[in-house]
Structure formats: C-alpha cells, structure tokens
Structure 1
Amino acid sequence: MRIDRFRSAWGIAPGSNLDNWAQIFPQLKAHGYSGVEVDIHPLEPSRDFPRLKEICDQTGLEIGLMIHSSWFQYLGPRPANTKADHHLTNYRNLLQSVQQLKPSYMNFQSGEDLWDVEESIKFYKGTLVIDKELGVSGRVWHETHRNRSLFTPYATRCILEAVPELRINADFSHWMVGCERVLDVSEGDKIMMNAIIPHVYHIHARIGTTQASQCPEPTNPVFKEERECFERIWKQVIQARAKDSGPDSRLIFVPEYGPFPYHPIGSAKTHGEVADEEGKRLEVLFREYAAGLTGA
C-alpha cells in the first residue's frame, strides 16, 4: 500500500503572483512531501491557477485542493437560508473551474451544520451525480469539519447510511473537541467509529484534544491519551483501505496544523514546525503499519 504525505499551504502566504509559494514549495519537496493541499478561494482562477500549476509542475509536487461548498473562507456572517440546491450549484461550478489544475483530489468542506439530516442527504446524493457527470468520481472527499454537515459523528453516520458511496476526509480533531472525549474508548463510540471508518479515503492527520482542535505538542506525554487514540483510528483507516483496495491502493495524509487561532500563542514551535515533524513521524508509523498488513 502506498502512503503519501501532502503539505497544507494553510498559513503560507502565496505572495504577489504566487512568488512566495514559488520559493517555499521546493523546500516542501525537499522535506519529503509528495504534494501540496491548497485552498482555492483566496486565488483568482484565470490568473493564479495557471501559475499554481506551473510552480507545482516545476517543483514536482502534486496538487490537492481545499474547496468550500458555500461561505467561502468563512468571511463575514454565514449566508442565510442557503439549502442543498444552492450548495450544489456552487459545487458544480467549482469542480468545473479547478479541473485545469489536474488535481490529485478535491477535498470539500461541504453542507451546513444547521441543516436537518434529510437536507444533507439530498446534498450529498447530488454531489455523487455531479461527480459522475464531470468524470471526477472517486477523487472527491468531504471533510468532517465543524460548521459543516459532517460536524458530528452522529450526523455523519446517518448520512453515510443513506449515501454509502460517499467518501470522506477524516479530520477527527473536530469531533474530539466537539464531543469532549476520546472517541474509541466507550463501546458505543467504537461501534459508531467502526461504521464510519470504511468511508474514509483521506486523512487530515492533526491531533486534537478534548478541549482544542489542535494539539501544540503532539508527542508531549500530557497528550498521550489523545495521541494514542488518533493513531489507533488512523491505523484502522489504513487497514480498511488496504483491505478494500489491495496492494496497489494509495492513501494520502496531510499533517494539517494551522496558524493562530488554531495554534496557541506562546507555543514552543511554530505550526509549520509541528506539521513537518508530525508529518515525518506519522509517515514512518503509517508505512510500517501498512507494510505489516497482509497484502498491503
């Protein structure tokens, strides 16, 4: 099984004409990253998309995309009274716009947490239809993110039961802080997570805590319980993907550690340092685990 590490560009200013990225992306390649994950919404497609592809082609980095189905960049108040049809219109337009980048995958923060489950199901069924029409089926993930339809494990499980073909990106740090507990200790939580994990095709490998969505020092012994919980769950994801896809399968993970306010003021290391250190540590952990699986 192939395990690849992508770096989030979150917190790295692109600069004029993306010139800052042009300087920094070769450093990320040298650090062992296979690709970058970029939020498209601060970019101007006609000007910045060709430049982004040029930089990544020259650097040898693949492109993964972060996309919002509405409330782009979370700027200003949440748009009022937007329903599945509005998000689906955005979804189609955005997917069409980004194909010039030839992305390896497209990760959506999608839907809304205030929808009832039926509205979310309507939306996600619609996304699968659009994926097929545009020829991107199997390359789109939907992130388990606060503010969005997949904001809790309970809502997510209900949606997946109705839309089993849906592929999700596991950013379970949002769930741990939202639920205020580690998520694989109680029997009820184990059953819930076991039902969700087979649908995970991408990992935002950020360790959170029961009180914060980002841990500033993942290897500090004080966070041992949370770290071990995340590592157990991530190994279950690797096992599910290896079992489902066989030895030629691929799993991309992103050590997605972001700047303030995710990263606490006064931390011993910058969020970028934490991301790079955790990325290397987890790459070894994940590859060793995958190598030990039969047929992986």
Structure 2
Amino acid sequence: MKLQFYYPRWGSENIDWEQFCQKVKQAGYDGVEAPVPESVKEQKIILDALKNYDLKLIGQYYQSFEKDFEEHKTNYAKELYILASAKPIKINAQTGKDYFSFEQNAELFAIANRITQETGITICHETHRNKALFAAHIAYDFLKKLPELKITADFSHWCNVAESLLEDQEEALDLACKQVGHLHSRVGHSQSAQVIDPRLPEFKNELEAHLKWWDAIVKDYKDTKEEALTITTEFGPAPYMVHLPHTNMPIASQWDINIHMLHMLKERYCE
C-alpha cells in the first residue's frame, strides 16, 4: 500500500507559491492541499509552481457559507467545477450545513457524485463542524444510507462536537474508517478540534485515540483498496492554534508540528 502526504496551504497564504512549493517539496511531501481561484491567471501561478516542484494537488472546497439552500446548491456546484478545472487528484469538500435537512445535504452529495462521474475526480466530504457530517452519529446515518459516500476523515472535529474521545460511538467510527477517501491527521480533544501540540505528554491519550482510528484506516486500505491513501498533515494556524494574549504570538509552530506528524506517520506506516 502506498501513502501520499500533503501539506495544507492554510496558514501559509502569505508565502508566494514558488517559495511555498519549494519548502514543501524539500520537507518530503508529495503534494499540497489548497483551494483554487476562479481566475485562470491565478490558477496558472499555482499549477506552474506545483509542476516546477513535482507536487500533486488536492483541491479544497470550504465556501459553504450560504444559508439559502438553492443559492448554496448553485454555488456548491460552481466551486466544485472550478476545482475540477485544475485537475487535482481529488477534491476535499466541506459539504453542506449542520442545519440543512438530511434530504438537502443528500442532494449536495448527489451533485458531487454527478461531478465525479463527469470529471473522473473523486470528491471526499470532510467530517467538519458546521457541515453535513459534523458529528459521528450524523455521519453514521449518512454512511448507512449512502454507502458510496467517501469521507475526508478529520475525527478531531467529532471529538470537539461530542466533548469526548468518542468512546461510546464505536459503531460510527468503525463504519467511517471503511469509507475514507482522504485523511486529515490533526489531533483534537473534547474542547477543541486541535490540541496545542501533539508532542506534549498531556495529550498522550488524545494522540493514541486518533492513532487507533488512523491505524484502522491504513489497515482497511491495505486489505481492500488498491489506490494510495492520501494524508494531509492539517494542524492549522489561529484560531485553531492557541495564541498568547496581547502579543498574538502562536504558542507553537504550525510548520514544526506538521513536519513532526509527517515523520511520525511515515515511520509508523511506511517503515
């Protein structure tokens, strides 16, 4: 089984694309996860930089802002087509809203499935707060009724929503780990979708819980899937990263933590 590792553009937007891609490539990543602008000229800057450093792209949709469902649906399809135009290896979509009905969110999943069939680009739906798959029990219902659904597993959000390490939701986790199309390796806890630093001993239990879920995902890929498992080391900047009051200085380095996760997961699964 092959693993591919991606670095998030999120948190590095102030670095130009050439410099960013050089830094990511030198760190040992296979690609970048990023949104794609509508402008062809701006797209070209991104795609040229990725090509220059032999990096792959995972497109990222996050613009699920519209409250009105019809407007939301129209813009959802528009943004997915923009991402598909850049020919990423797959798309990670923060699909839907937690307050949309099951039927409305299912309609958005159907739109994504149609676009996948048209373009050949797999769209994975992130288990993200405020979105359709915002909680383990909600996602469980979707996955049982829509078995073709592929998720971007970011269980840190579910821990935060449930204020737990999901000890009483084993069935939902077991099913979710079999439906993974992409993985975000961020560690969350009961009060936040991101621990201050996964290297700290006080977050040992949280790290071990997430590693258990990631182990199950890797095992499922080894046992049943032929394609590579893509992983984005997605520890983020503020407000996910805690900042000190008054100075606005981050309490840890986003880059250092993500590099630590890259090396830890490579050692665990590739060696």
Q: TM-score, normalised by structure 1?
A: 0.84
1:25 aligned residue? 21
- Matched residue type, 2:270: R
Asked if the contact 2:3/2:228 (under 8 Å) is kept, the reply is yes
Deviation per residue, 1:149-197 (Å, 9 max, x gap): 00011111111122110100011111001101112x33xx112211221
Given candidates 144, 152, 165, the residue that maps to 2:127 is 144
Deviation per residue, 1:114-171 (Å, 9 max, x gap): 01222222321332123213332xx211100011000011111111122110100011
Given candidates 261, 265, 270, the residue that maps to 1:282 is 265
- In percent, how many aligned pairs have the same letter? 27
Unpaired runs of at least 5, structure 1: 72-78, 289-296
Counterpart CA distance in 1 for 2:108 and 2:9 is 28
SS of equivalent to 2:177:
helix
Pairwise CA distance, 1:10: 0.5
- Matched residue type, 1:23: Q
2:247 aligned residue? none
Count of residues in correspondence between the two structures: 266
Asked if the contact 1:117/1:155 (under 8 Å) is kept, the reply is no
Pairwise CA distance, 1:268: 4.7
- Matched residue type, 1:7: Y
- Matched residue type, 1:59: Y
Unpaired runs of at least 5, structure 2: 245-249
Asked if the contact 1:66/1:107 (under 8 Å) is kept, the reply is yes
Question: Alignment RMSD, CA only?
Answer: 1.7
1:193 aligned residue? 173
1:9 aligned residue? 9
> 4+ residue stretches of structure 1 with deviation over 6 A?
none
1:237 aligns with 2:237: no
Counterpart CA distance in 2 for 1:88 and 1:242 is 36
Counterpart CA distance in 2 for 1:208 and 1:94 is 28
Counterpart CA distance in 1 for 2:115 and 2:57 is 21
Counterpart CA distance in 2 for 1:212 and 1:69 is 22
SS of equivalent to 2:188:
coil
Pairwise CA distance, 1:255: 0.9
Counterpart CA distance in 1 for 2:114 and 2:206 is 37
2:80 aligned residue? 95
Q: TM-score, normalised by structure 2?
A: 0.92
2:32 aligned residue? 36
SS of equivalent to 1:198:
coil
- Matched residue type, 1:45: S
Counterpart CA distance in 1 for 2:75 and 2:235 is 27
1:52 aligns with 2:52: no
